[in-house]
């Protein structure tokens, strides 16, 4: 009995050992469905995985691939048979064949679905999944002899340590090719590869095209010139090698515990994702090109691409989506198709065609047009297009005629009337008479609907005004809102006398600046407001109301909420929510105020960064604040920071190309490019933010923060902070009023961020979105260089002592 129990235990242990995960396939072994290889570090797994061919279909495709083993949802990074899906997985296995190759074998038919296809002199080989995610086929008796590796055949993802580029000896081009759609890993429409002309750069282009739509810029020894962010990031360590044998790019993760991937996705953009354990999701931290519509033919033919729209691809009038199923799976390259064929095609006549032209306004044209020299007018251009059945659109601009044949690609929507859109033009699209008439009828119905709606709205508004007038007469002193009228964004139009009464004739002054003074007020006898009386806003009433409306539409937890406005004759006032803890400078620089703890200071720095990132990157139009400083950071009851005056540039219509004397910014926070007179970018806000963060750290103005142990020697604090950071003495920089109650790791991180932000060259400064990721701990940052311009301007003796 004991002997039987012993054999049962031995059998159980053998079964357990055989089922344990391994990273190797030996000759005679096989990997079948539900089995997998796992790398020694447990990071990667290889096995069979399945996808549905469509969201609604029960038809399942199987693939052999490598994925991230510690990520709950299967995220493939390499696929062997991406263009040859398996239907009957039950009879499939991954094994080493008699000729030594690694193959996917159909056991029933003995046919090979996929193979490594290398010439091997001996058939004693072993397949191993390495800890870096590389699947290799090696000599069983000499593991250093590698016959084949998956790193030489990437799909849409580049692994850390893998090479992207040319092996000149064997003529191998390692490039990424996007997936077909969000479900299928089959080869898609776009690729990223080393520039075939020999330049030391990578480009993104349609597969089999020699015309890129984005390039990385040349490698300068540290980073690619179109990606200056690489110089500031320490998450990845990059390497570019070029010699007689090979030219390639590779990268490694500085933090080995981080899970990240660089992928060329379905949208034709190269993206960097980081896996966040806390939220259990992939977070995109970087993408190129920045705008989706920069990707060539991303929406397919007969579409208009709009970067400002949630659904960036839309069919032109008279066209419908060619494949709704593909669009749902994020593959829109099939574009749109005509609802009704052109008359010249149906009747095979160009002399008596009934085709019409429908105008598409405010668009940017592709470069594929044919110029017609003979056409001297719009009419001649239209007739010339009608006489050629392959002509599907034309434009007439600056005395020149351009026509397009067969299909339209890369039409881009612009904002009508935008002063920055010099390429804004009108396209005349050829449609059948039937579709043209339907669109004209729709226009008429819309006009009639708008007219009827406007009439009903006017009557309703009149009735509302009468009702409010009646209510106002009943409450003489409570009617401080101008008829209670709100705009489309909830912005309230106030009367000047009401605001004058609410602020007690503008007596309770909260503060002031270059734009005017701010006064405290009450509406409805209980709600506190802050009223900013503007000085120098000379816009007309219509323009002022339009700008206020656009500012009111901007909502973010770290931006002061605009409640309303007043436009009475030449008087211009803005009404904001009241911030009970006033502005940041009050707490940093005045001894009789609350001493902000380090935790609150760090959260203020992070909150302001989030607000600026929203203004720069998430608004319909990029908004540059131009005057970031502690006085413009307000604090609510919980000390949550709110950026104030973020719409002043729109209201005052500043000319950013002028010299320093005409700028309304604040000395001490102005970026060097203001002085040089060049066109400014959002990086001027980044510079000001860096200066302000240094003041948050020290609790004093940059110009007067003590920098010697005795406190008698005063130099410009940012220069002193940069030196102390390099010396590893961040603790001496922190406000002494905190008495050492500081998270020094956070203090060092904040100081690094600030010193990167105040770099002389704006290309060396991070974006505010990058700053947020750094402060949140998502992205690491290296040690910044000394801001040499600041040091030379201040004449610091610090460097001489060093």
Given the residues 326, 627, 645, 685, select the one marked as catalytic.
627
Q: How many domains does the chain have?
A: 3
Of the listed ranges 11-15, 289-293, 401-405, the one predicted with least confidence: 11-15
Identify whether the C-beta of residue 285 lies closer than 8 Å to the C-beta of residue 269: no
Residue 658 pLDDT class (50, 70, 90 cuts)? very low
- What is the reported pLDDT for 349? 63
**Residue 299 scores a pLDDT above 50:** yes
Give domain status of residue 265, yes or no.
Answer: no
Cβ pair 283, 253 in contact under 8 A: no
Q: Render pLDDT for 727-767 as a digit per residue (tens, 0 to 9).
A: 899 999 999 889 889 999 999 999 999 999 999 888 889 99
The CATH number assigned to the domain holding 80 equals 2.90.10.10
**Is residue 3 in some structural domain?**
no
For residue 513, pLDDT over 60 is answered with yes
**172-174 vs 176-179, strand pairing mode:** unpaired
Residues 113-145: tens digit of each pLDDT? 999 999 987 768 999 999 999 999 999 988 889
Model confidence at 395, pLDDT cuts 50, 70, 90, reads very high
**Angle separating helix axes 744-757 and 598-613, nearest 10 degrees:** 40
- Averaged pLDDT for residues 408-435: 78
Summarize pLDDT for 487-512 with one digit per residue, the tens: 445 688 888 888 888 888 888 888 77
351 — pLDDT class (breaks 50, 70, 90) = low
Residue 429 — very low, low, confident or very high, per pLDDT cuts 50/70/90? very high
Instruction: Tell me the three state secondary structure of residue 340.
Output: coil
Residues in contact with 21: Cβ distance below 8 Å, sequence separation at least 6, in sequence order: 36, 37, 38
pLDDT band at 445; cut points 50, 70, 90: low
d(CA 125, CA 138): 6
- Pick from 167, 225, 230, 220: which is nearest to 193 by CA? 167
Domain finish residue from 129, 153, 177: 153
* Residue carrying the six token digits 């929406």: 299
> pLDDT tier at 169 (50, 70, 90 boundaries)?
very high
55 has pLDDT over 50: no
Residue 105 lies in a domain: yes
| Domain membership flag for residue 566 | no
Three-state SS annotation for 10-70: HHHHHHHHHHCCECEECCCCEECCCCEEECCCCCEEEEEEEEECCCCCCCEEEEEEEEECC
Q: List Cα–Cα distances, 765 to 633, 639, 690, 756, 789, in angstroms.
A: 22, 28, 10, 6, 14
Q: Measured between alpha carbons, how far is 729 from 697 in angstroms, rounded to an integer?
A: 13
Q: Between 557 and 103, whose confidence is greater?
A: 103
**How far is CA 586 from each of CA 590, 603, 781, rounded to the nearest angstrom?**
6, 17, 31
- Residue 455 CA to residue 452 CA, distance in Å, equals 5
Residue 418 predicted with pLDDT over 80 = no
d(CA 199, CA 222): 16
Nearest one of 699, 627, 716 to 667, comparing CA atoms:
627
The stretch 104-115 carries a mean pLDDT of 93
Sign, Cα dihedral of 386, 388, 394, 400: negative
Sign of the alpha-carbon dihedral angle for 296, 302, 306, 310? negative
Q: Which domain holds residue 788?
A: 583-801
Identify the DSSP state of 85: -
* Stretch (H or E) spanning 586: helix 584-589
Between the CA of residue 68 and those of 45, 254, 399, 425, what are the distances in Å?
6, 18, 58, 48
Q: Are strands 76-79 and 92-96 parallel, antiparallel or unpaired?
A: unpaired
Confidence at residue 9, expressed as pLDDT on a 0 to 100 scale:
39
DSSP 173-233: EE-EEEESSSS--SEEEEEEEE-TTS-S-EEEEETT-S--SEE---B-SSSBTT-THHHHB
Three-state DSSP at 287 gives strand
Only one residue has tokens 């594929």, namely 368
Per-residue confidence (pLDDT) for residue 39, from 0 to 100 = 96
Q: Is 627 among the residues known to form the active site?
A: yes
Q: What is the pLDDT of residues 570-616, one digit of tens each?
A: 788 889 888 888 889 888 987 666 789 999 999 999 999 999 998 88
Please tell me the predicted confidence (pLDDT) of residue 53: 56
- pLDDT score for 431: 92
pLDDT at 396 over 60: yes
With cut-offs at 50, 70 and 90, classify the pLDDT of residue 446.
low
Q: Does the pLDDT value for residue 676 go beyond 70?
A: no
pLDDT band, very low/low/confident/very high, at 660 (cuts 50, 70, 90) = very low
Average pLDDT in the chain: 82
Cis amide bond preceding 335, omega within 30: no
* Interatomic CA distance for residues 799 and 524, integer angstroms: 60
Q: Where are the alpha helices (DSSP H) in 614-759?
A: 648-652, 672-676, 683-698, 717-727, 744-757
Q: Is residue 130 part of a domain?
A: yes
Q: Is the pLDDT of residue 421 over 50?
A: no
Lowest mean pLDDT among 471-475, 711-715, 765-769: 711-715
Q: Indicate the pLDDT class of residue 16, thresholds 50, 70 and 90.
A: very low
Q: Does residue 654 fall inside a structural domain?
A: yes
Q: For the chain, give the percent of residues with pLDDT over 90.
A: 41
User: Of 377, 403, 431, which one is at a domain's C-terminal end?
Assistant: 431
Q: Find the CATH number of the domain harbouring 698.
A: 1.10.510.10
Residue 467's SS3 state is: helix
- Cα dihedral 108, 111, 114, 118, rounded to 10, equals 130
What is the band of 790 on the pLDDT scale with cuts at 50, 70, 90? low
- pLDDT (average), residues 688-696: 95
pLDDT at 494: 87
Q: Under DSSP, is residue 706 helix (H, G, I), strand (E, B) or coil?
A: coil
532 is in an annotated binding site: yes
DSSP class per residue in 451-465: HHHHHHHHHHHHHHH
For residue 258, tell me if it sits in a domain: no
Collapse the DSSP code of 237 into the 3-class scheme (helix H, G, I; strand E, B; otherwise coil) and give the result. strand
- Alpha-carbon distance of 175 to 194, in angstroms, equals 8
Any idea what DSSP says for residue 615? I
Rounded to an integer, what distance in angstroms lies between the CA atom of residue 199 and that of residue 201? 6
pLDDT beyond 60 at 368: yes
Per-residue pLDDT averaged across 771-794, rounded?
82
Establish if 595 belongs to a structural domain. Answer: yes
pLDDT tens sequence across 227-244:
877 776 567 889 999 999
10 Å CB burial of residue 545 (0-12, 13-18, 19+) is middle
Instruction: Please tell me the distance from the alpha carbon of residue 455 to that of residue 443, in angstroms, as a whole number.
Output: 18
3-state secondary structure of 300: coil
Given a cut of 70, whether residue 47 has pLDDT beyond it is: yes
The per-residue pLDDT for 315 is 95
Taking 80 as the threshold, does the pLDDT of residue 106 lie above it?
yes
Lowest-confidence region among 33-37, 120-124, 248-252, 516-520: 120-124
Domain end marker among 431, 456, 483: 431
Confidence bin at 281 (pLDDT 50/70/90): confident
């Amino acid at each position: 009995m004991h002997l039987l129990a012993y054999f049962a235990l031995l059998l159980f242990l053998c079964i357990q050992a055989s089922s344990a995960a391994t990273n190797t396939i030996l000759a005679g072994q096989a990997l079948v469905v539900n089995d997998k290889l796992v790398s020694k570090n447990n990071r990667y797994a290889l096995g069979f995985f399945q996808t549905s061919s469509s969201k609604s279909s029960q038809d399942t495709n199987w693939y052999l691939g490598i994925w991230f083993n510690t990520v709950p949802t299967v995220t493939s990074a390499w696929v062997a048979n991406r263009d040859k899906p398996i239907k009957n997985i039950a009879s499939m296995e991954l094994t080493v064949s008699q000729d030594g190759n690694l193959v996917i074998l159909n056991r029933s038919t003995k046919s090979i679905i996929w193979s490594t296809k290398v010439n091997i002199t001996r058939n004693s080989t072993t397949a191993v999944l390495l800890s870096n995610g590389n699947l290799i086929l090696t000599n069983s008796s000499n593991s250093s002899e590698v016959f084949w590796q998956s790193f030489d055949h990437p799909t849409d993802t580049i692994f850390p340590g893998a090479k992207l580029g040319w092996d000149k000896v064997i003529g191998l081009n390692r490039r990424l090719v996007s997936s077909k759609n969000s479900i299928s890993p089959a080869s898609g429409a776009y690729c990223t590869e080393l520039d075939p002309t020999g330049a030391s750069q990578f480009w993104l282009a349609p597969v089999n095209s020699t015309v890129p739509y984005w390039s990385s810029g040349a490698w300068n020894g540290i980073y690619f010139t179109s990606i200056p962010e690489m110089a500031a990031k320490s998450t990845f360590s990059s390497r570019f090698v070029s010699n007689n044998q090979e030219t390639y790019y590779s990268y490694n993760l500085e933090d080995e515990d981080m899970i990240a991937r660089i992928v060329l996705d379905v949208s034709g953009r190269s993206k960097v994702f980081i896996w966040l354990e806390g939220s259990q999701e992939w977070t995109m931290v970087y993408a190129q090109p920045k705008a989706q519509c920069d990707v060539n033919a991303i929406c397919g033919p007969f579409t208009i691409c709009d970067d400002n729209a949630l659904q960036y691809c839309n069919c032109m009038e008279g066209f419908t989506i060619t494949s709704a199923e593909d669009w749902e799976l994020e593959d829109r390259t099939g574009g749109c198709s005509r609802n009704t064929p052109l008359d010249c095609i149906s009747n095979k006549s160009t002399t008596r065609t009934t085709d019409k032209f429908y105008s598409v306004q405010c668009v940017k044209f592709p470069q594929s047009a044919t110029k017609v020299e003979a056409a001297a007018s719009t009419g001649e251009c239209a007739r010339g297009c009608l006489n050629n059945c392959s002509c599907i659109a034309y434009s007439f601009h600056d005395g020149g005629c351009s026509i397009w044949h067969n299909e339209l690609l890369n039409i881009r929507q612009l904002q009508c009337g935008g002063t920055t859109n010099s390429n804004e033009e009108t396209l005349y699209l050829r449609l059948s008479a039937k579709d043209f008439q339907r669109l004209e009828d729709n226009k008429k119905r819309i006009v009639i609907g708008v007219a009827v709606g406007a009439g009903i709205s006017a009557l309703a508004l009149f009735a509302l005004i009468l009702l409010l007038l009646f209510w106002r007469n009943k409450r003489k002193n409570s009617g401080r809102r101008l008829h209670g009228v709100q705009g489309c964004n909830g912005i309230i139009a106030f009367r000047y006398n009401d605001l004058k009464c609410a602020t007690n004739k503008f007596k309770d002054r909260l503060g002031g600046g270059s734009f005017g003074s701010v006064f405290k007020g009450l509406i409805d006898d209980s709600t506190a407001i802050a009223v900013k009386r503007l000085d120098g806003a000379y816009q007309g009433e219509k323009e002022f109301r339009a700008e206020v409306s656009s500012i009111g539409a901007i909502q973010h937890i770290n931006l002061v909420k605009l409640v309303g406005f007043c436009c009475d004759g030449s008087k211009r006032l803005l009404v904001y929510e009241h911030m009970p803890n006033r502005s940041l400078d009050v707490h940093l620089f005045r001894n009789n105020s609350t001493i902000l703890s380090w935790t609150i200071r760090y959260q203020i720095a992070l909150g302001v960064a989030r607000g600026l990132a929203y203004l720069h990157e998430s608004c319909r139009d990029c908004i540059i604040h131009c005057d970031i400083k502690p006085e413009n950071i307000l604090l609510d009851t919980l000390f949550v920071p709110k950026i104030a005056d973020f719409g002043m540039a729109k209201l005052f219509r500043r000319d950013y190309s002028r010299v320093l004397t005409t700028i309304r910014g604040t000395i001490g926070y102005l970026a060097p490019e203001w002085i040089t007179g060049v066109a400014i970018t959002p990086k001027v806000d980044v510079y000001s933010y860096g200066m302000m963060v240094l003041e948050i750290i020290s609790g004093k103005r940059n110009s007067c923060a003590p920098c010697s142990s005795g406190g008698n020697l005063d130099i410009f604090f940012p220069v002193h902070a940069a030196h102390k950071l390099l010396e590893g003495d961040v603790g001496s920089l922190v406000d002494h009023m905190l008495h050492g109650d500081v998270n020094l790791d956070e203090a060092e991180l904040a100081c690094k961020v600030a010193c990167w932000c105040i770099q002389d060259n704006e290309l060396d400064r991070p974006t505010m979105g990058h700053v947020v990721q750094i402060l949140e701990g998502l992205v690491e940052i290296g040690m910044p260089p000394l801001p040499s311009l600041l040091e030379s301007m201040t004449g610091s003796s610090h460097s001489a002592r060093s």
